[in-house]
Chains A and B, each alone.
Chain A
Amino acid sequence: MSVKAYSLFRKDFHSELRTRYAVNSLVMFIIVAISVILFSIGTEKISQSLTAGLFWVVIFFSAMSGLARAFVSEEERGTTMTLHLIASPSTIYSGKLLFNLILVFMMNIVIALLYSAFFDAFIIKNFLLFVVTFILGNVGLAVSSTIIAAIIAKAGSKGTLYPVLSFPILLPLILLVVQLTLNSLDGTSFEQSVFELAMVVCYDVIMLAASYMLFDFVWKD
């Protein structure tokens, strides 16, 4: 199954390279979002906790901008039926999840780099904690966003509905990773953050399991 899912991912990736739909608009969105924040702040100094929060705000909205495409583009072009004819639901979900996972990581590395460059308070004192938070948080973000994207692909008014549905589901994750990012900025030790990290791992595992089980219902008409 994973080879088939990987092939689906490669098809999506190849398609993206050819058409550049998602990447262009996503990169522009990130630049615009960060610019808006920088302009709004002006010359004010913002605290570390605010910076940590804003970091994940930009990540959340960028995710909302780019992660629905995996399912919505298939639905809009009419190729959903084609996928139905060549793969089982779990293969579809795995392939799309892999695509969104790669997209999330690429997007968030860009955001992290831009933050380091433009935000004074974004200086990472506990680098290990930041990296672990980054990886676990991105996985959770991708998993939840993908299943919600599958749901809204079948609905009307997809664009506005996506953040509305995703936010309550992502809220526990966002609260945890903002706290963990703040910890990594102000140098809190790894040991003190173990509870939050364990919770993020739980979130990732539970959401992943639930998504796999529920995807069949979403996919089959």
Chain B
Amino acid sequence: MSNYSVEAISLIKVFGRRLIFNNINFTFESNGIFGIAGSNGSGKSTLVKIIAGIISPSSGKIIHKCDNEEILPEKLHNHIGFVSPYLVLYDEFTAWENLVYFSEIRGFQLNKDRVNYLLEKFLLINRKDDLVKTYSSGMKQRLKFIFALAHSPELLILDEPTSNLDSEGKEKVYTILKKEAETSIVIIASNEETDLEICASKLELEQYKKISNSRIRGEIVR
């Protein structure tokens, strides 16, 4: 059970003149699976990228805390595991080499036992020394999971986690996510019913698209 929490305060995101979402507030703590639901193009990927610290909100804050101390943005990356359809791994390297480099760049020696365990769990152990270039999309998706889990993050963020997976793959993922949720926070952004079923609570992105709130006028139209 980690003492991790992530809090969103009045998050607003605007791209040029398009409002993506307005005034999102939430707090996720210690462990469990939380969902972010919305149709295609509703801004789910944008929201999870903001939570992961990859892009900045137009207004508002996102605060990550571990043991009640706020984590600085530069140090955030080792606390987070991120899976997304937009994530790309280096296809000129093998799966193993990718994982070794990622670990070293993060600043740890590769935890060989953990990585081998994950490779077995995700059925990639036989292909770990093959170039990622030769992987199918389902295999790449599974490798992304290993990338997200290898450093045992306190916060796991998943954007469309079961895309490119067959039903057997999906079941495996749900089992693993439920296990992870016992000790870490898992956030799933998806429009798949089966994905959202395993979530304890859900945030519906459609509810945050109104701009009639005069506060947002003041905020964006300075």
- Please state if A15 and B92 are interface contacts (CB–CB under 8 Å): yes
Contact stretch, chosen from B30-38, B81-89, B114-122, B186-194: B81-89
Report chain A residues within 8 Å CB of B74: 88-90
Binds B, one of A1-9, A27-35, A39-47: A1-9
Contact with A along B134-163 (1 / 0, CB 8 A): 000000000000000000000000000000
Rounded to whole angstroms, the CA-CA distance of A77 and B80 in the bound complex is 22
Q: Is B75 an interface residue (CB 8 A)?
A: yes
Known: A78-B86, A78-B88, A81-B87. A87 touches B105 (CB 8 A): yes
Interface residues of A, dominant DSSP: helix
A11 with B101: CB separation less than 8 A? yes
Kindly state whether residue A85 has any CB partner on chain B within 8 Å: yes
Residues of A within 8 A of B53 (CB): 84
Contacts of A8 in B (CB 8 A): 105
When distances are taken between beta carbons in the complex, the residues of chain B under 8 Å from A15 are 90, 92-93
A4-B105, A4-B106, A86-B105 known; A221-B90 Cβ under 8 A: no
In the complex formed, the residue of A with least CB distance to B74 is: A88
Is there a chain B Cβ closer than 8 Å to A19's Cβ?
Answer: yes
Which chain A residues lie closer than 8 Å to B218 at the CB level? Answer: none
Let me know if A87 and B77 touch, CB within 8 A. yes
B107 interfacial contact with A, CB 8 Å: yes
Cβ contact within 8 Å between B90 and A85: no
The answer to whether the Cβ of A91 comes within 8 Å of any Cβ in the partner chain is yes
B51 is an interface residue with CB less than 8 A from chain A? no
Q: By the criterion CB–CB under 8 Å, are A14 and B105 in contact? A: no
B56 at the interface (CB under 8 A from A): yes
**B101 in complex: contacting residue of A7, A81, A221, CB < 8 Å:** A7
Partner of B107, one of A4, A90, A95, A221: A4
Residues A82 and B88 in contact, CB atoms below 8 Å apart: yes
- B92, A86: Cβ atoms closer than 8 Å: no
Q: Which of B52, B77, B88 lies in contact with A77, CB distance below 8 A?
A: B88
Q: Which of B75, B77, B90 contacts A79 (CB 8 A)?
A: B90
Q: Contact flags (1/0) for B157-185 with A, using CB distance below 8 Å?
A: 00000000000000000000000000000
- Is B14 an interface residue, CB under 8 A from the partner? no
B191 to chain A, nearest CB (A): 21
Closest A residue to B157 using CB positions: A85
Report the nearest A residue to B106, measured CB to CB.
Answer: A86
B104 at the interface (CB under 8 A from A): yes
- The distance in angstroms between the C-alpha atoms of A90 and B73, with both chains bound, is 12
Question: Is residue B9 contacting chain A, with contact meaning CB distance below 8 A?
Answer: no
Known: A11-B101, A82-B87. A18 touches B77 (CB 8 A): no
Contact with A18, one of B92, B105, B107 (Cβ below 8 angstroms): B92
Q: In whole angstroms, how far apart are the Cα atoms of A221 and B87 in the complex?
A: 16
Tell me whether B93 and A14 are in contact (CB under 8 A): yes
Which chain B residues lie closer than 8 Å to A87 at the CB level? 77, 105-106
Taking the closest CB of chain B, its distance from the CB of A202, in whole angstroms, is 28
A-B contact list, 7 entries, CB within 8 Å: A4-B105, A4-B106, A19-B92, A82-B90, A85-B82, A88-B77, A91-B105
Chain A: residues with CB nearer than 8 A to chain B? 3-4, 7-8, 10-11, 14-15, 18-19, 77-79, 81-82, 84-91, 95, 220-221
Seed contacts A14-B97, A85-B54; 16 additional CB < 8 Å A-B pairs: A3-B104, A4-B106, A10-B101, A10-B104, A11-B90, A11-B105, A15-B90, A18-B92, A19-B92, A79-B88, A79-B89, A82-B88, A82-B89, A85-B80, A90-B74, A221-B56
